[in-house]
Amino acid sequence: MSVETVTNPEPATPETEPSEVVIETRNLRKVYRDFWGREKVRALNALDLEVRRGEIFGLLGPNGSGKSTTIKLLLGLLFPTSGQALVFDRDASDVEKNERIGYLPEESYLYRFLNAEETLDFYGRLFDMDAQTRRERVDSLIDMVGLEWAKRRQLREYSKGMTRRIGLAQALINDPELILLDEPTTGLDPIGTREMKDLIIKLRDQGKTVLMCSHLLADVQDVCDRIAILHQGDLKEMGRVDSLLTVKDVTQVQARGLSAEAEDEIREVISRHGGKLMAMDHPTSTLEELFLRIVRDSEERPGRRTVEHE
């Protein structure tokens, strides 16, 4: 099965007015030097990127391609060797921009000697929130990530999934306009992954902008509007997911309730129009959906599995 893809370079947004550019990098370069000033690693070469308001942007690439570096440059945790990184039209090292962003690092780097409530309260204070607002936000966020039952336990006792959820909560404590996620679904089980993806989509629906980087292709495909693919520090591809992945010259039809005669007729129509039938069969649901369905059923009816035969 051959597939032709059509790449669209930076398209005009299909909607009416151009959205505001939230993140912009201009010729961003990052080179790690050793003590004597010689180049050690070329982490990022001349990256030009734009992220618009209200979209989910994915940075894709294998390990070591510069995804995390880009995010850290945007956050001001690293300083660019040359070029500019702008967030909300301000330089990345400007502290003021942090009021409007949230960041979920790869491993949730949180203080292990605090418990969940204290952690969120602490970060809330850093946003200069008054006590009342803090209290409400902390409670609602803990509720949202479903850690009500463990909120008094010190973080050192949390499992990885739980820490990641608290990390997400602290990223949202200030109700940010822009959220940066570094490998959000890496290391999560399928349920956690699904919840994370649902949350990301919900955030977009609330009007927020999300920039995430990942090497888990399926997750990025499910969630992102636009992606950029990096490899060894170079930008290889950028564009809308649907336009990048749409196979233009193949038509896909999914119909319910077709009899065998109907199928034959369709075969005939196709050959009559000079097309080549590539496949007519039952589509497969994804393993993710099967898994989630079984887990949901199991929670409702614990015990031995009920095997359903076709």
Ranges assigned E (strand) in 61-164: 82-87, 90-91, 101-104
Site residues for another protein, 124-153, by CB under 8 A, read 125-128
User: Which residue lies nearer to another protein by CB, 173 or 227?
Assistant: 173
CB of residue 24 to another protein, shortest distance in Å: 18
Does residue number 310 form part of the binding site for another protein (CB under 8 A)? no
**Judging by beta carbons within 10 Å of its beta carbon (0-12, 13-18, 19+), is residue 165 exposed, middle or buried?**
buried
Total residues found in the chain within this entry? 310
**Judging by beta carbons within 10 Å of its beta carbon (0-12, 13-18, 19+), is residue 42 exposed, middle or buried?**
middle
Does residue number 65 form part of the binding site for another protein (CB under 8 A)? no
Find out whether 239 and 252 touch, Cβ atoms under 8 Å.
Answer: no
CB of residue 99 to another protein, shortest distance in Å: 5
CB of residue 270 to another protein, shortest distance in Å: 55
CA-angle at 173, arms to 171 and 176, nearest 5°: 70
The contact pattern for another protein, residues 154-193, with x = CB under 8 A and - = no contact, is -------------x--x-----------------------
Furthest-apart CA atoms within the chain: distance in Å: 76
CB of residue 32 to another protein, shortest distance in Å: 7
CB of residue 180 to another protein, shortest distance in Å: 8
User: Which residue lies nearer to another protein by CB, 18 or 37?
Assistant: 37
CB of residue 125 to another protein, shortest distance in Å: 4
- List the end-to-end C-alpha distance of the chain, in Å, as a whole number: 30
User: Which residue lies nearer to another protein by CB, 129 or 238?
Assistant: 129
Q: What is the DSSP string of 7-44?
A: ---SPPPSSSSPPPEEEEEEEEEEEEE-TTS-EEEEEE
Site of tokens 């790869």: 106
Does residue number 98 form part of the binding site for another protein (CB under 8 A)? yes
User: Which residue lies nearer to another protein by CB, 82 or 206?
Assistant: 82
Taking contact as CB under 8 A, which single stretch among the options 91-99, 223-231, 245-253, 264-272 is the one that binds another protein?
91-99
Amino acid at 225: D
Q: Which residues bind another protein (CB under 8 A)?
A: 32, 37, 72, 75-79, 93, 95-96, 98-99, 101, 103, 105, 107-111, 113-114, 118, 122-123, 125-128, 167, 170
